[in-house]
Amino acid sequence: MSCVSPTEWCGWGTLLWWQEFCNYKAAGSGPKPQAMSHQSEWTAPRTGRLKMNIDGSWNIEKKLAGFGIIIRGDTGNFMAARSGCCVDVFSPFQVEAMAVREGLRWAGNMTFSKHNL
């Protein structure tokens, strides 16, 4: 049995979420995918804007955390995504804050001109 690193886990999680979103959009008014307990329906940004969604995950026993970030356009079109991991994380609030910080850093280094967080 092999272990998956937090970075790989976040990468796969982001990819699976994106596939689920695309399936939902393709189905139109059909059945919605099963939602996770904290997941809500994606809402588009204003026309001409980009939207960045950020989420974190925490392993309490190992004090490890991972995060995923995805940027989409106003029609839901994929623009960019990334993931990462953090060590010595002691609360879910800490990982969410770290994920937002990384998202803002990443956005600041990109050439996109407008973001909705």
Residue 86: domain span:
44-117
- Domain total for the chain? 1
Residues 106, 28 contacting (CB under 8 angstroms): no
Q: Is residue 83 in some structural domain?
A: yes
In a domain, residue 103? The reply is yes
Please state the pTM of the whole predicted model.
Answer: 0.61
Indicate whether 113 belongs to any domain: yes
Here the tokens at position 72 are 């989409």
Within a domain: 49 = yes
Residue at 58 is within a domain = yes
Specify the DSSP element, H or E, that contains 106.
Answer: helix 92-109
Tens digit of pLDDT at every position of the chain (117 positions): 344 455 555 565 666 666 666 666 666 654 444 444 555 788 899 998 889 999 999 888 888 889 999 999 999 999 999 998 888 888 888 888 889 999 888 888 887 665 554
pLDDT of residue 23: 66
Question: Is 30 within the bounds of a domain?
Answer: no
Classify residue 22: in a domain, yes or no.
no
Count Cβ atoms below 10 Å from residue 9 Cβ, excluding itself. Answer: 18
The CATH number of the domain where 51 resides is what? Answer: 3.30.420.10
The predicted pLDDT at position 71 comes to 92
Any domain includes 17: no
Model pLDDT, residue 81: 94
